[in-house]
Chains A and B, each alone.
Chain A
């Protein structure tokens, strides 16, 4: 089908900074995307999994239904398959072995026990319903704090306790914390909890696998954001060499980290495709997504901060637990989240002393995975709650306490207390702009007047910085199965002058097909319609760790810029020869080699190279019109975008309902490749943050049963819950990247929960009511209103 051209005129700006309509809109907005679920293959069979109905127990026996034995597979059949192991090099880390089908024991509800195959999914489910599994049930480990108590049942019975990893950050230990504790004029304490969430991309996971006999290769179509890493993991588990595995991630309907893990189901389907010699499909349904596979976000903080009388931070001291679930998922491991808490809790602030101990705790729940924002969302909630508490104690506005503690622009670049290298920016200016845009004075006046309907108005804010695109020097220390290095890209011209760009990152809503094309246009002047971006296929793209950590536009964009410049040089050389002019008399202008005597277009030169080589210069670069290169930023400690979220809420204290009345985000993502795409990223992230703040929770019963197995129970924000957000951009160029761009893919989801929680608490403070958990559901507010007692003090220290 021929694409319809997107709206544009020949002179419309297409390069860096242009809000170009997305090239991919044509198929996405017309329902013509190609997802795993769209793939049909001749003879394809469907898989349904028998999943554990209990959270913790030994499998005593598995009975396959009589006559259907050949349609049911257990680990005994897959005995040659290696378990998924995601180790970490951090000292003391205990890896788990996640067998692709349960091995004698189940450790979470939904753990796959057997794989059933039939002509249709419904028929496969019929078979699954007939598989009988005999369990010897064990007491489930459900709460992370109870899991750490002496005598708790063990998730991994050969461990001495339920801790994957304990970390301890002790910054500036020479400064006496005990003395600060005794003498600090302001001391605030909070115990905070964020709910376990289930990342909910529109499209769940899905696999279509088949064995290609000609290539002797397993071809796995899967909804993944890191296809090369999936390939490495698959090859290892299946005992294949990596050349025997090709992973193709077609259109992916949302990644968010959920598509970044190697699933047991992918390994199982790969094995089955090899053994059945038929295409095998498994499509995750919403129930599996909600209850069986990865979850995210569940943090617990016990945080204390010390400040001077006027609100300057002296020290932060914290103990944080993350409920990591039953297994260490590949490749990020079970400790990334908690260990990251320790390193990023100080946020964008200066302080003299910092201490944080973290635990990654094993429980009988699905593995916890990095979700958009990773640990930053919980961390921002913790530190920004504490900053508001300090403001109250100091008797100043929340923005004033931030201005007193933020890193100043003249201090940039700044190495913070945990040695994070803040690259650039003006954090206080973001605060000032946000306060001006939300008109805080008017909000305070409105609070004084009161609302006719009795609702209470609250103002809340949060500021954070987001490390993105961090590379080798940051990740090698984690010792997880992957470390990002030089980011590759391969570009080449076709004989008719189309530029093909092959990159190992992927796009699952980020608009990379557009923004990468804009970078190509920026360097080569080529019309973005003549740039084809090829992503997601390990068969045709260079090896990359993929898309995660807000890295793609920095890393793949940087690599593409470098490659395009090299290609331009080669084109200039050929073009000058064709113009019969010396190289130094031609220049690159409007997508063509331009000399004194005329112009030679990209297509002219491409045609010459491929089809009329007799016209090439004798000293032509034999590497031709294909450039393969790779890129590292000048410094790989990451870009630091930052944003200030300012929110006004109205709280119905009787029903506990919170409505967002106004929402401003002042965001600095460095040089923006496409401001419209950036806005889309920020809106989407903020919507997810609103979910974290007000709606989303995956509750568990005492015996480890997930209690939200449909979207009627697991509430996601929808169109009526996400307000019209106003975004203001600042553009401080990143000093170490190719075009000054910064990663901002996760930003929206980071600041929103903290700002909303602060706004709700601002509304409730005059009533002596405080809410210290997410999501802030009506029940949470009503219960807090009901149990509020006069002894509840603002600083959190019991009176």
Chain B
């Protein structure tokens, strides 16, 4: 199938991009890497009348070390993260995750912001940003606002982002050099979306020890205090968290998420090197 007809604009500033979408009465969409929206348009599941391409806006590609925090512009690509083109401050977590996203061809075009705004529950960044407790920076016709990680994804493919708002980037607290992490993704074959994701992040100097259960029906599930899961290799301790994540006890989904969580816990416990 071929996409329905649409207009295309590539403005140079965020203001003009927002103005274009605001004037469209809901018929325009922002686009960056087009790795999700493109196929949906080709299947005519999405039929926007106009695409406003954000890749011409230089500020959305900016990344900088701000001292305690890192700012990552929304339009950085998965490949740029994978290739460590900038100092993301996550002690190797983000490059590791990026390397497992789809295929290099997709990573060359797909963007961090695009993935987060699309909010596919099985995608990697949506769970990773929850584990990193990212702040989501949003600009719209009425100014800028910041949305906390816990409030970002409200359901599958659903965020608080208004149609005329842009996710401009995320701000992450920089992990201390002593921070440990583990990331376990289960998928049918490399490049496919995840069937289960589990992440542990233990940054003792910052007082952070959390885990995330991802690739579930809704938003990723945060385990705010994951200390006991790291300290005690006891599978039964995982179950209350899986129940809390809304997984149906005994189902296939429950079983594979439990294995992912168990394996991620073992990896961080053994401080196993992430290759």
Q: Are A129 and B44 in touch, CB under 8 angstroms? A: yes
Chain B contacts of A695 at CB under 8 A? 188-189
Bound form: Cα–Cα A120–B192 in Å: 32
Q: Are A125 and B2 in touch, CB under 8 angstroms? A: yes
Contact with B along A118-152 (1 / 0, CB 8 A): 00111001100100000000000000000000000
B104 → chain A closest CB, angstroms: 12
Contact with A along B246-261 (1 / 0, CB 8 A): 0000101001100100
Bound form: Cα–Cα A717–B189 in Å: 8
Q: Are A715 and B43 in touch, CB under 8 angstroms? A: no
Bound form: Cα–Cα A270–B114 in Å: 44
Which residue of chain B has its CB nearest to the CB of A719? B190
Q: Are B1 and A786 in touch, CB under 8 angstroms? A: no
* Interface flag for B186 (CB, 8 Å): yes
B241 → chain A closest CB, angstroms: 17
* Interface flag for B5 (CB, 8 Å): yes
Chain B contacts of A717 at CB under 8 A? 189
Q: Are A712 and B193 in touch, CB under 8 angstroms? A: yes
Q: Are B2 and A122 in touch, CB under 8 angstroms? A: yes
Q: Are A285 and B193 in touch, CB under 8 angstroms? A: no
Chain B contacts of A715 at CB under 8 A? 188-189, 192
Bound form: Cα–Cα A732–B256 in Å: 49
Question: Pick the contact of A655 from B44, B190, B250, B256 — CB < 8 Å?
Answer: B256
Contact with A along B16-46 (1 / 0, CB 8 A): 0000000000000000000000010001100
**What total of chain B residues lie within 8 Å of the partner, measured CB to CB?**
21
Most buried by B among A287, A655, A720, A783: A655
Question: Pick the contact of A710 from B2, B39, B252 — CB < 8 Å?
Answer: B39
Chain B contacts of A783 at CB under 8 A? 252
> Given contacts A655-B256, A710-B43, A778-B195, are A121 and B2 in contact (CB under 8 A)?
yes
Contact with B along A750-787 (1 / 0, CB 8 A): 00000000000000000000000000011100110010
Which residue of chain B has its CB nearest to the CB of A288? B1
* Interface flag for B204 (CB, 8 Å): no
Chain A contacts of B39 at CB under 8 A? 710
Q: Are A125 and B188 in touch, CB under 8 angstroms? A: no
* Interface flag for B163 (CB, 8 Å): no
* Interface flag for A413 (CB, 8 Å): no
B184 → chain A closest CB, angstroms: 10
* Interface flag for A718 (CB, 8 Å): yes
Q: Are A122 and B193 in touch, CB under 8 angstroms? A: no
Question: Pick the contact of A125 from B1, B252, B256, B259 — CB < 8 Å?
Answer: B1
Chain A contacts of B252 at CB under 8 A? 779, 782-783
* Interface flag for A721 (CB, 8 Å): yes
Label chain B's interface by main secondary structure: loop
* Interface flag for A654 (CB, 8 Å): yes
Q: Are B188 and A777 in touch, CB under 8 angstroms? A: yes
Q: Are B43 and A287 in touch, CB under 8 angstroms? A: yes
* Interface flag for B244 (CB, 8 Å): no
Chain B positions 176-191 with a Cβ under 8 Å from a chain A Cβ: 186, 188-191
Chain A contacts of B1 at CB under 8 A? 125, 285, 287
Bound form: Cα–Cα A121–B1 in Å: 8
* Interface flag for B4 (CB, 8 Å): yes
Question: Pick the contact of A720 from B5, B44, B190 — CB < 8 Å?
Answer: B190
Chain A positions 243-286 with a Cβ under 8 Å from a chain B Cβ: 285
Bound form: Cα–Cα A654–B262 in Å: 11
Bound form: Cα–Cα A126–B3 in Å: 9
Most buried by A among B1, B191, B192, B250: B1
> Given contacts A285-B1, A655-B259, are A721 and B44 in contact (CB under 8 A)?
no
Most buried by B among A121, A129, A654, A783: A654
A659 → chain B closest CB, angstroms: 11
Bound form: Cα–Cα A357–B39 in Å: 45
Bound form: Cα–Cα A287–B2 in Å: 11
Which residue of chain B has its CB nearest to the CB of A709? B43
Chain B contacts of A129 at CB under 8 A? 44
Bound form: Cα–Cα A116–B95 in Å: 48
Chain A contacts of B189 at CB under 8 A? 695, 715, 717-718, 720-721
Chain B contacts of A712 at CB under 8 A? 192-193
Q: Are A655 and B186 in touch, CB under 8 angstroms? A: yes
A638 → chain B closest CB, angstroms: 37
Which residue of chain B has its CB nearest to the CB of A121? B2
Which residue of chain A has its CB nearest to the CB of B259? A654
Contact with B along A654-696 (1 / 0, CB 8 A): 1111000000000000000000000000000000000000010
Which residue of chain A has its CB nearest to the CB of B2? A122
Bound form: Cα–Cα A786–B256 in Å: 12
Chain B contacts of A655 at CB under 8 A? 186, 256, 259
Which residue of chain B has its CB nearest to the CB of A124? B2
> Given contacts A654-B259, A655-B186, are A126 and B5 in contact (CB under 8 A)?
yes
Most buried by A among B2, B5, B250: B2
A83 → chain B closest CB, angstroms: 27
Chain A contacts of B44 at CB under 8 A? 125, 129
Contact with A along B201-221 (1 / 0, CB 8 A): 000000000000000000000
Bound form: Cα–Cα A720–B191 in Å: 10
Chain B contacts of A786 at CB under 8 A? 250, 255
Q: Are B4 and A122 in touch, CB under 8 angstroms? A: yes
Chain B contacts of A287 at CB under 8 A? 1, 43
A380 → chain B closest CB, angstroms: 24
Bound form: Cα–Cα A710–B255 in Å: 27
Bound form: Cα–Cα A664–B131 in Å: 44
B242 → chain A closest CB, angstroms: 14
Chain A contacts of B3 at CB under 8 A? 122
Chain A positions 511-538 with a Cβ under 8 Å from a chain B Cβ: none
Bound form: Cα–Cα A782–B257 in Å: 12
B102 → chain A closest CB, angstroms: 10
Which residue of chain B has its CB nearest to the CB of A46? B2
B186 → chain A closest CB, angstroms: 6
Bound form: Cα–Cα A122–B259 in Å: 46
Chain B contacts of A126 at CB under 8 A? 4-5
B163 → chain A closest CB, angstroms: 24
Which residue of chain B has its CB nearest to the CB of A780? B252
B216 → chain A closest CB, angstroms: 16
Chain B positions 144-191 with a Cβ under 8 Å from a chain A Cβ: 186, 188-191
Bound form: Cα–Cα A122–B250 in Å: 46
Chain B contacts of A709 at CB under 8 A? 43
Q: Are B256 and A778 in touch, CB under 8 angstroms? A: yes
Which residue of chain A has its CB nearest to the CB of B195? A778
Bound form: Cα–Cα A778–B250 in Å: 15
B128 → chain A closest CB, angstroms: 21
Chain B contacts of A121 at CB under 8 A? 2
A24 → chain B closest CB, angstroms: 26
Contact with B along A27-38 (1 / 0, CB 8 A): 000000000000
Chain B contacts of A656 at CB under 8 A? 256
Bound form: Cα–Cα A712–B255 in Å: 23
B53 → chain A closest CB, angstroms: 19
Q: Are A718 and B255 in touch, CB under 8 angstroms? A: no
Q: Are B259 and A120 in touch, CB under 8 angstroms? A: no
Chain A contacts of B193 at CB under 8 A? 712
B270 → chain A closest CB, angstroms: 13
Chain B contacts of A778 at CB under 8 A? 188, 195, 256
Bound form: Cα–Cα A718–B5 in Å: 33
Which residue of chain B has its CB nearest to the CB of A654? B259
Bound form: Cα–Cα A782–B191 in Å: 22
> Given contacts A778-B256, A782-B255, are A120 and B2 in contact (CB under 8 A)?
yes
Bound form: Cα–Cα A721–B188 in Å: 10
Question: Pick the contact of A122 from B5, B43, B191, B255 — CB < 8 Å?
Answer: B5
5 pairs from A and B in contact (CB 8 Å cutoff): A287-B1, A695-B188, A718-B189, A718-B190, A720-B189
Starting from the known contacts A709-B43, A710-B43, A715-B188, 8 additional A-B residue pairs (CB-CB under 8 Å) come to A120-B2, A129-B44, A710-B39, A718-B189, A779-B252, A782-B255, A783-B252, A786-B250
Nearest first, the 10 closest Cβ-Cβ pairs linking A and B are A122-B2, A654-B259, A720-B190, A121-B2, A779-B252, A782-B252, A721-B189, A655-B259, A655-B186, A285-B1
